[in-house]
Structure 1
Amino acid sequence: MSALLAVLLIAALVFGLALLWLEARHRLRPASPLRLSSANWSVKRKGDERLEVKGTIAIRNPHARMEVFVPEIELKPTLLGRVDLADVQVTTSLKPQHPDEEARADGYWFAYIVKGHKTTQAEVRISISGPAGSDLRKLVDTLWLEILWTNYGPFGRLQKRDGVLIPLRRPAAAQPDTANWRQGDRCSVLPIRTHLLGTLDDPAEVLRHYAGAVLQPGDVLTIGETPLAVMQGRYNHPANLQPSSLARLLCRVFHPTSSLATACGLQTLIDNVGPARVLCAWLLGTALKLVGSKGWFYRLAGEQARLIDDVTGTTPPYDQTIVLGPADSAAVCRQLAADLGVAVAVVDVNDLGRVKVLASSPGCDEALLMRALKPNPAGNANERTPLVLVRP
């Protein structure tokens, strides 16, 4: 008996050391401290045939001592619309605004060092021109701007890919006299159309602008979990990920339709909760599955394991990225409800009648939401109706 106990103790020690090694390797992997953000975007109309988009990108180094080079940066614009855009021309320019070095007159981006606790920025200009005689506003509605940039330093040379969505036009807000209500199970339901949402949008402003005119006491306003997540910036291009051996191995055991069935999808979860938790969740989940108890991996790995949407899992242009679930959903609902004066809920709904209320403000009637949202009034295609208003 004592020999068996000794073997078990040694096995537990070896397993614990293996978990510590996994975590240490994960945390010490090559990484750049640089962070990219953008702001101050404006869209100006230059006649019917031309639009000028202007904004600023900032690169911040939060590290105290590490100095990181940015030797290359490239803008890759993509226009979205509902017609053929082959005749629409797009040109871009990027002008450095470094705090300690002058920009070159020819527009060349020279290799720049971002020192510890410093920030640099650059001005972005994008010109969009339609064919002669066209009304450009009727052709395009969204600009997806990808920023491809290189980080070079003690960690090696890393290629980074960030994207920002810039609305070029916005639909009209819902109005009481034109709202197209649908009759549900002891309730009325109003899907509310918005522009494509992104990191430039504030959730409170979006809900107030598009739904404010039709809200009444007793209403419940819902927002999809993915639209909220992209407004929070919780998406990442697979090019930014470096799948570990654990991710490459374990992703093969998930169902092919799962968002965790690719190395990058599973690596996103590992980056969020750590490799030790993912491995333990898989081991325990597999053991419990063998005795007939299913679903334990997702319970043990945390909420994000169910909420991650892999490539193709969301509407363009986010279909090329991996989108996490939203952060602090309960706190967001409480704040939005206080701002708007009605109950607010974050939901995940699909065409199979599955309704999951991720979070809701105090006093929200979740049973009402389950009835109202079962037919999926927001849709899963390109309806662009991330808000649904439910009225008892």
Structure 2
Amino acid sequence: MVILIGILAGLVGFVLLVLLLLEAQYWQRPSNTLEMTSGKWELAVYEPQRYVLVGQIELTNLTRRLEVMAPTVHAEVQLLSSGSLEGIQVKTRIIPRFQGAEPRNDGYWEAHIIKSMGHDPIEVIVEIEGANLSELKVAWIQLHYVSYGSRGRFPKIRHVIVPLKFPAVEDSKRWRPAQNADVLPIKTHLLTHLDDPVSVVKRYVMPHAQPGDIVTIGESPIAIMQGRYRHPSEIKPGWLATRLSYMFHPTSSLATACGLQSLIDIEGEARVLFAFIVGSIAKIFGVKGMFYRLAGEQARLIDDVTGTIPPYDQFIVMGPENSQELCDRIQRETGLSAAIVDVNDLKRVKILAASSGVSTSLLHQALISNPAGNANEQTPVVLIRPTDTFTERATVGLQSAK
């Protein structure tokens, strides 16, 4: 009997050892990581009754040593308009452009294998037709694809937002008085990842600007142009995010599991947990805001769903990266001083970065009333022109300092 129990115990131990080895081998193996790039897009046809958008994108297999399959790829398009969409028709085509591919007229996507670390190009064509397309603002293109391989089948979506309406420079001409400055909210098209901040300044701001002006851009539009936004469907909240999100104020962007997980993905679980523990202790002693000081700059900058204008109201938008470098680049390429700012209707002005020599007090005074607005004004850029009084006072101050 003892021998039998020993044999059974040995078999159980052997089975457990095999299972542990299989589990270890599983986690060491690469997963089937297939990504789709946002690509480059152009309005190939821009006629009153017909628009044609063409996107050049890639399916990229980031998995080492393993092939990954893309058994399906298809597109859906949501149009945003200031009027009705009645009578407007949308057609989409996805054309494989990789070696050996044969485009089909019936629109069927043939399952495709992407080799390890491979980049296979595809073309997406969106045709929009209607009696009058002038009220269309943007095309939100959702590219659905499936990553199929060693870990199973994973449906994924790449979101691409393409502007369809472009305001004229003359649409921005209403200067407003502010303390020690005049300000001009500047209307732009809906900014997307396809835009470059410097190009936006050159296109919309330079026709209004003169030497000594300061151009300010909201932090969310900058982050959007940098592609720093995620759809909640792409985020998998972990244990920490689902537990801690309940502890934040209901209006905070960290009060949802996906919002908090976005911060955790950037800063790491250890830092967020440490900031929460220390922040909670500090609050007991009457010290507020310690969590945001310890959790990193992104903790204050993340905008959860509903935090920005459509269609970005469906996304979580992170704060921008390399803000100071961008301000320096704008000044270098346009000659205008620049600042990246976070402003709201609660008279809160936060300067993320600014060109050297820019007065932060002037920025606060000029932006305190939030001239860019928090609704759908679509004026993410504000041009500030210091008045002569402020300029003279600043000059006197510099001379006194010398």
Q: CA deviation at 1:350?
A: 0.6
User: Structure 1's 190 and 332: CA in aligned 2 closer, same or farther, altered over 3 A?
Assistant: same
8 A Cα contact 1:191 1:387, kept in partner: yes
| Cα distance, 1:35 vs structure 2 | 4.3
Q: Distance in 2 between matches of 1:154 and 1:233?
A: 29
1:129 matched to 2:126? The reply is no
Indicate the SS of the match to 2:331: helix
AA paired with 2:37? L
- Alignment of 1:164 with 2:165, yes or no, is no
Matches within 5 A, 1:70-85: 70-85=70-85
| Residue aligning to 2:142 | 146
Other structure's SS at 1:233 match: coil
1:50-80 residue CA offsets vs partner (Å, 9 max, x unmatched): 2222222212234432322222222111111
Contact 2:223-2:320 within 8 A present in 1 as well: yes
- Aligned mates of 1:244, 1:370 — CA distance in 2: 39
Contact 2:32 2:63 in 1 (8 A): no
- Kindly indicate whether residue 380 of structure 2 is the aligned counterpart of residue 386 of structure 1: yes
Distance 1:31 1:358 in 2: 38
Once the 2 structures are TM-superposed, how far is the Cα of residue 164 of structure 1 from its aligned partner?
A: 1.4
- Whether 1:185 aligns to 2:179 is yes
Look up the match of 2:303: 309
Q: What is the count of residue pairs matched by the alignment?
A: 360
- Asked if the contact 1:162–1:236 (Cα under 8 Å) also holds between the matched residues in 2, the reply is no
CA offsets per residue over residues 78-100 of structure 1, 9 Å max, x none? 11121111331111111111224
Unpaired segments of 5 or more residues in structure 1? 1-25
Maintained 8 Å contact 1:43/1:53: yes
**Per-residue deviation, 1:203:** 0.9
Letter in 2 for 1:113: I
Q: Give the 3-state SS of the residue equivalent to 2:356 in structure 1.
A: coil
Are the structure 2 counterparts of residues 185 and 240 from structure 1 closer, same or farther at C-alpha, using a change threshold of 3 Å? same
Separation (CA, whole Å) in 2 of partners of 1:32 and 1:139? 39
Structure 1 counterpart of 2:358: 364
Alpha-carbon distance, 1:206 to partner: 0.6
Task: Report the equivalent of 1:329.
Answer: 323
Report the residue type matching 1:45 in the other structure. Y
Normalising by structure 2, we get a TM-score of: 0.85
Following superposition, the deviation at residue 49 of structure 1 comes to 2.2
Alpha-carbon separation, structure 2, partners of 1:149 and 1:363: 49
CA RMSD of aligned residues (A): 2.0
**1:179 Cα offset (Å):** 2.2
> Which stretches of structure 1, 4 residues or longer, exceed 3 Å deviation after superposition?
26-31
Q: Quick check: 1:234 aligned with 2:246?
A: no
Q: Aligned residue for 1:221?
A: 215
Scaled by the length of structure 1, the TM-score of the pair is 0.87
**In 2, distance between residues paired with 1:322 and 1:234?**
9
**1:41 counterpart residue number:** 42
Name the CA distance, whole Å, in 2 between partners of 1:73 and 1:33. Answer: 12
How far apart are the structure 2 equivalents of 1:76 and 1:37?
Answer: 15
Q: Any conservation in 1 of the 2:347–2:370 contact (CA below 8 Å)?
A: yes
Q: Tell me if the contact between 2:32 and 2:149 (Cα under 8 Å) persists in the aligned partners.
A: no
Give the match for residue 68 of structure 1.
Answer: 68
Deviations 1:190-227 (A, max 9, x none): 00000000011111101110001121111110000000
Deviation at 1:246, TM superposition (A): 1.1
Larger radius of gyration: 2
Contact 2:32 2:150 survives alignment (8 Å):
no
Distance 2:66 2:276 in 1: 37
Give 1:139 deviation, angstroms. 2.3
Q: Aligned equivalents of 2:101 and 2:45: distance in 1? A: 29
Does structure 2 retain, via aligned residues, the 8 Å contact 1:224–1:387?
A: yes
Identity score, percent: 47
Separation (CA, whole Å) in 1 of partners of 2:219 and 2:114: 35
Query: What residue ranges of structure 2 are gaps of 5+ in the alignment?
Result: 1-26, 387-402
Q: Deviation per CA, 1:243-268, whole angstroms, max 9, x where unpaired?
A: 11111111111111111111111111
